[in-house]
């Protein structure tokens, strides 16, 4: 009975192993095609834009300058915009489980571009090409996760995005220098700035293309290991039958073809048929050869394992095989080793699920964040079209500080940064940063019991230090050094406050283990960057709602400002700060679900191997029970 069950399991695992390898190889191939279509650096040279374009008028001027130089030198150009973010639901909210990766190529002359080499299709002017065409757009074959669009760039139409990377269609160093020099002249004249050709030199932007094949690789390897172990166990369970066939004069090949191979071939060919249907459905005929290669390779490996196992059994005396005393303890140790490998995979996969469980318990047991129920945060934050900011994140930091923070602050937003408190540093460096609005949200009192206030017209950097530290000259010397040299505060106004006053941190917890509190004043000299809009559950910047919904505040107060500064793709929504943990749980659901499926499959495989190993142990040693 157990051997019949092993036959069925062997057929099923052969089917699943082929299917998983076909899916993995197909994903790997699709990722490779996406990368080929995305990477145009073999035929194009990147041109950096030395200004920040934050309105359509300036954007059209840039396109006009590129057009002028392109026509003069007869060098085509294009812009590549790569968006990374999340899909929106019908209600307008973010779908955390569905990522979007859109690549748009806009060129001045589609027919003259060399994009046809990347996409392996003839491209014509006055056509729009897309992997997800709308209306009369021409279909581009879709392979991986990237959605491509190819269209003509225009200085007269409203751009879908002002962001992106410009390229010129030449690798000739001399022509590149000439193009950059002429472009510099145009920019200097049109924008009244001073640039030279070196300001247009390319910058290295790291690739952040999705890699779908990695997601399935782990379970594919696990299934392959299980398949090998199961084949060995099945062969060992047939030692009696193999001994009988040897007495009848059968060779190894004949024994394999009679006892084992039919079930492996049946499962493998069923898996191949499923893969073939997938290829025909998606019209990805290039994968047919790869699928055949996968089928042949997996079958050959399976046959190799079977052959080696049966060949090893053939070396044993026939009488020992017939009475089932042919296994040494080494064989069982090897089987237990394979069990340990699978259990290791299971334990590694349990970690994300455990983290989700911890987040859930933490979310249901704490009410601290309710103190921020009338405030919101930008969540999630996305790369959007800002690929260049991966190289120079200071660009995004400056926009956040110079554009977003003044607006949020004037609307009553809070700043509370306690990052230093949780760091393993000396007490003088445990400083907290708050803003003027925070003093109204949570009152602090000086040594005389007066409420701390900071005038809107003040030009001073106010620093609050507990009484117990002000009398310690050595400690105060360290604190002053930290304020001037690390925080770059020039002539700060230091004021003593009552000891042990609690402050409410980013997560709503009450803490008091700080050495100083810096009241950030945007009108004073501030040389250090603010730690704001972090996209997690400890974002120091809280946006005031004043009793309104986050959606309403986002659309009426911030959407236009975000669009004007090319940030709409980076900060797609506001959520209530008190709801941040729920949103983090939703964001983790997809990853945890895939891990839960993997854990379930791995546990099933582990149980099957454990039962099969125990069965072998009983049959060989004749024990009534064994615990392994």
Q: What is the mean pLDDT of residues 406-431?
A: 90
Torsion, Cα 126 132 133 138, to 10 degrees, reads 50
State the pLDDT confidence band at 336, using cuts at 50, 70 and 90: low
Average the pLDDT over 373-377 and give the result. 94
pLDDT, tens only, 426-467: 888 899 999 999 999 999 999 989 999 888 888 888 999 999
Please provide residue 400's backbone torsions phi and psi, each rounded to the nearest 5 degrees.
-60, -40
Note the pLDDT of residue 334: 62
- pLDDT at position 503: 93
Report d(CA 218, CA 351) in Å as an integer. Answer: 15
Asked if residue 628 has pLDDT above 50, the reply is no
pLDDT at residue 626 in the model: 42
Greatest CA separation for the chain: 105
The first and second tokens of residue 482, run together, are 């930290």
**Quick one: tokens of 365?**
């047991």
**Alpha helices (runs of H) in 150-208, residue ranges in sequence order:** 173-191
Would strands 94-107 and 146-152 be described as parallel, antiparallel, or unpaired? parallel
Q: Average the pLDDT over 125-131 and give the result.
A: 92
**CB-based contacts of 541, cutoff 8 Å, min separation 6:** 377, 405, 408, 413, 414, 415, 530, 532, 533
Peptide bond into 395 cis (omega under 30): no
Choose among 222, 227, 239: nearest CA to 331: 239
Determine the Cα–Cα distance for residues 204 and 210; give it in Å rounded to an integer. 19
Say whether pLDDT at 249 is over 80.
no
Q: Residues 65-76: what's their mean pLDDT?
A: 94
Which string of b and e fits 241-252 if b means at least 16 CB within 10 Å? bbbebbeeebeb
- Tell me, what's the pLDDT at 504? 93
- Burial group, residue 261, by CB count within 10 angstroms (0-12, 13-18, 19+): middle
Q: Average pLDDT over the chain, rounded to whole?
A: 83
List Cβ neighbours of 582 (8 Å cut-off, separation of 6 or more): 363
Split at pLDDT 50, 70, 90, the class of 280 is: confident
Taking alpha carbons only, the member of 370, 378, 354, 371 closest to residue 536 is 378
At 424, list the tokens: 């393993």
Cα pseudo-dihedral 89, 93, 99, 104, rounded to 10: 90
Report how far residue 357's alpha carbon sits from residue 588's, in angstroms, rounded to the nearest whole number: 11
14 close to 263: Cβ distance less than 8 angstroms: yes
Q: What is the pLDDT of residues 541-568, one digit of tens each?
A: 999 999 999 999 999 999 999 988 888 8
Token pair of 453, please? 């206030």
Beta-strand ranges (E) seen in 263-422 are 375-378, 414-417
DSSP string, 262-300: HHHHHHHHHHHHHHHHHHHHHT-TTHHHHHHHHHHHHHH
Q: Under a CB-based contact definition with an 8 Å cutoff, are residues 504 and 438 in contact?
A: no
Distance CA 24, CA 213 (A): 6
- Coil, strand or helix: which one is 543? strand
Burial bucket for residue 567 (CB in 10 Å: 0-12, 13-18, 19+): buried
Pairing of strands 129-130, 138-139: parallel
Give the pLDDT confidence score for residue 543 in this predicted structure: 96
Q: Which residue has the tokens 């049946």?
A: 266
**Which pLDDT does position 307 carry in this prediction?**
86
Gyration radius from the chain CA atoms: 33
| DSSP, residue by residue, 24-38 | HHHHHHHHHHHHHHH
DSSP state of 427: G
226 three-state secondary structure: helix
Query: What are the backbone angles phi and psi of residue 46, rounded to the nearest 5°?
Result: -70, 140
What single-letter DSSP state applies at residue 145? Answer: S
350 vs 87, higher pLDDT? 87
Could you tell me where the beta strands, DSSP code E, fall in 360-515?
A: 375-378, 414-417, 431-435, 462-466, 493-497, 503-504, 510-511
Alpha-carbon span 378 to 559, nearest angstrom: 12
Are the C-beta atoms of residues 85 and 382 closer than 8 Å to each other? yes
pLDDT of residue 392: 65
Q: Is the pLDDT of residue 627 over 80?
A: no
What's the CA gap between 299 and 305, in Å, rounded?
10
**Structural contact between residues 535 and 378, judged by C-beta atoms closer than 8 angstroms:** yes
Confirm if 272 and 295 have CB atoms less than 8 A apart.
Answer: yes
| Contact of 466 with 503, CB cutoff 8 Å | no
Cα–Cα distance for residue pair 607/624, rounded to 1 Å:
19
Q: Is residue 595 very low, low, confident or very high in pLDDT (cuts 50, 70, 90)?
A: low
Q: How many CB atoms lie within 10 A of CB 347?
A: 11
Q: How confident is the model at residue 310 (pLDDT cuts 50, 70, 90)?
A: confident
CB 311 within 8 A of CB 208: no
- Measuring CA to CA, which residue among 86, 112, 102, 132 is closest to residue 34? 102
Among 43-52, 291-300, 517-526, 531-540, whose mean pLDDT is lowest?
517-526
């Amino acid at each position: 009975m157990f051997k019949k069950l092993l036959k069925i399991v062997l057929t099923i695992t052969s089917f699943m192993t082929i299917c998983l390898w076909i899916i993995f190889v197909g994903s790997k191939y699709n990722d490779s095609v996406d990368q080929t279509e995305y990477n145009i650096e073999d035929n194009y040279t990147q041109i950096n834009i030395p200004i920040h374009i934050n309105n359509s008028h300036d954007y059209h001027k840039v396109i006009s300058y590129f057009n002028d130089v392109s026509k003069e030198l007869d060098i085509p150009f294009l812009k590549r915009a790569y968006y990374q973010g999340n899909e929106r639901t019908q209600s307008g909210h973010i779908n955390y489980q569905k990522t979007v990766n859109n690549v748009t190529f806009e060129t001045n002359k589609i027919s003259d571009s060399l994009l046809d080499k990347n996409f392996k299709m003839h491209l014509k002017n006055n056509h729009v090409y897309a992997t997800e065409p709308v209306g009369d757009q021409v279909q581009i074959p879709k392979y991986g996760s990237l959605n491509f669009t190819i269209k003509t760039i225009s200085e007269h139409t409203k751009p879908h995005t002002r962001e992106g990377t410009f390229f010129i269609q030449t690798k000739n160093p001399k022509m590149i220098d000439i193009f950059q020099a002429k472009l510099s002249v145009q920019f200097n004249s049109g924008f009244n700035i001073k640039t030279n050709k070196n300001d247009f030199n390319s910058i290295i932007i790291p690739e952040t293309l999705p890699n779908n094949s990695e997601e399935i690789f782990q379970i594919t390897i696990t299934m392959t290991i299980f398949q090998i172990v199961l084949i060995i166990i099945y062969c060992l369970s047939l030692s009696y039958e193999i001994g009988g066939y040897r007495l009848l004069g059968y060779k190894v090949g004949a024994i394999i073809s009679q006892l084992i191979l039919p079930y492996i071939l049946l499962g493998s060919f069923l898996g191949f048929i499923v893969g073939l249907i997938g290829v025909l459905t998606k019209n990805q005929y290039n994968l047919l050869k790869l699928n055949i290669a996968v089928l042949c390779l997996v079958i050959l490996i399976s046959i190799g394992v079977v052959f080696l196992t049966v060949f090893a059994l053939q070396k044993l005396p026939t009488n020992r095989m017939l009475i089932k005393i042919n296994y040494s303890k080494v064989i069982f140790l090897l089987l237990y080793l394979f069990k340990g490998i699978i259990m290791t995979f299971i334990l590694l996969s349990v970690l994300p699920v455990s983290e989700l469980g911890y987040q859930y318990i933490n979310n249901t047991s704490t009410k601290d964040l309710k103190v921020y129920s009338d405030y919101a945060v930008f969540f999630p934050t996305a790369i959007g079209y800002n690929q260049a900011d991966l190289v120079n994140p200071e660009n995004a930091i400056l926009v956040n500080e110079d554009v977003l923070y003044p607006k949020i602050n004037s609307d009553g937003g809070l700043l509370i940064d306690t990052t230093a408190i949780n760091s393993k540093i000396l007490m003088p460096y445990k400083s907290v940063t708050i803003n003027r609005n925070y003093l109204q949200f949570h009152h602090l009192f000086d040594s005389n019991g007066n409420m701390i206030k900071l005038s809107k017209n003040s030009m001073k950097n106010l620093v609050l230090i507990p009484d117990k530290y002000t009398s310690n000259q050595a400690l105060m010397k360290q604190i002053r050094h930290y304020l001037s040299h690390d925080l770059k505060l020039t002539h700060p106004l230091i004021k003593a406050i009552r000891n042990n006053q609690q402050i409410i941190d980013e997560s709503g917890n009450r803490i008091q283990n700080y050495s100083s509190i810096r009241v950030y004043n945007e009108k004073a000299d501030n040389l250090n960057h603010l730690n704001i809009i972090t996209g997690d559950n400890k974002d120091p910047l809280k946006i005031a709602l004043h009793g309104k919904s986050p959606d309403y505040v986002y659309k009426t107060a911030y959407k236009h400002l975000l669009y004007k500064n090319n940030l709409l793709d980076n900060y797609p929504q506001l959520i209530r700060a008190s709801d941040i943990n729920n949103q983090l749980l939703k964001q983790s659901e997809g990853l945890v679900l895939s891990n839960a499926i993997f854990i379930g499959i791995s546990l099933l495989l582990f149980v099957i191997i454990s039962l099969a190993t125990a069965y072998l142990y009983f049959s060989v040693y004749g024990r009534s029970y064994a615990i392994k």
